[in-house]
Amino acid sequence: MKTTERRVTIPGAGVEIQAVVVEPVGPPARCGVVYYTDIFQITESTLRTARRLAAEGFVVYLPEIYPRELAGVALEFDDAGKAAGLAGAAHTRTAEFDADRAAVLAHLADREDLDTIVAAGFCLGGHLAFRAAFDPRVSATVCFYPTGLHDGSLGADVADSLDRAAEIEGRLMVIFGSADPHVPATARLRTVEALYAAGHEDLELHVFQGGEHAFMRDVGPRHDPELTDRALAEAVSFLRGRS
């Protein structure tokens, strides 16, 4: 299915949030996806994944995660880009991430053509997607190799994400790679134990053997096309409600 793209500006709390909207061509899509990027923001690699999701029949919103620090900037996948992305996180408080999330979700909720809202995110964006799931309007969430869930590492302060896991009312899927040094087995265990303790015993969990951190980013040696296809297929099926 073909897709179309446009840029929108979403008013937030003291900030304007730039976002890319990717929509399928054809019958109107009824499900909106808030797609949280990794620390590099809205890169062409990220857009390629968003287009794949939109081609499955979703309206995909990609808001910039650093509208105060790096508005309009897509970072390069190099040391300088990584440093800038990490600095953007370090300068953003959890409350600011949450305020931006509230603004984006309100924008989607105002669209009369959407019946449901779901969330997805990668790396730091996987952590942000988890926090988006606190909103009862989010019916399902997929967190791809989320960083910092196990210890609250997110931005300028310690996030209370796992402590608030019981607030999540929607369905939850978490996808990890077994060879991810940022989310090693001990971190995955702590995360899953906390989710079970919060009552999420029916969450869907995938640990892809050999998957490195950012194995779905189609730039660089970590990319695993086979695991990417499998992870996206699972995510799409899950977000559709396994219909």
The predicted-structure confidence for 191-209, as pLDDT tens digits, reads as follows: 999 999 999 999 999 999 9
Q: What is the CATH number of the domain that holds 222?
A: 3.40.50.1820
27-59 in b/e burial notation, b at 16+ Cβ within 10 A?
eebebbbbbbbbbbbbbebbbebbbbbbbbbbb
223 tagged catalytic: no
- Over residues 219-237, the mean pLDDT reads 97
Catalytic residue among 107, 123, 127, 143: 123
Segment 118-161, tens digit of pLDDT: 999 999 999 999 999 999 999 999 999 999 999 999 999 999 99
Range of the domain at 182: 3-239
* Single pTM value for the model: 0.97
Count up the domains in the chain and report the number.
1
150 tagged catalytic: no
- Does residue 80 surpass a pLDDT of 90? yes
pLDDT at 243: 54
- The answer to whether the beta carbons of residues 142 and 119 sit under 8 Å apart is yes
- Does residue 109 surpass a pLDDT of 60? yes
Catalytic residue among 91, 182, 213, 223: 213
Catalytic residue among 38, 100, 135, 180: 180
pLDDT at 27: 85
Q: For residue 162, report the phi and psi dihedrals to the nearest 5 degrees.
A: -65, -30
78 tagged catalytic: no
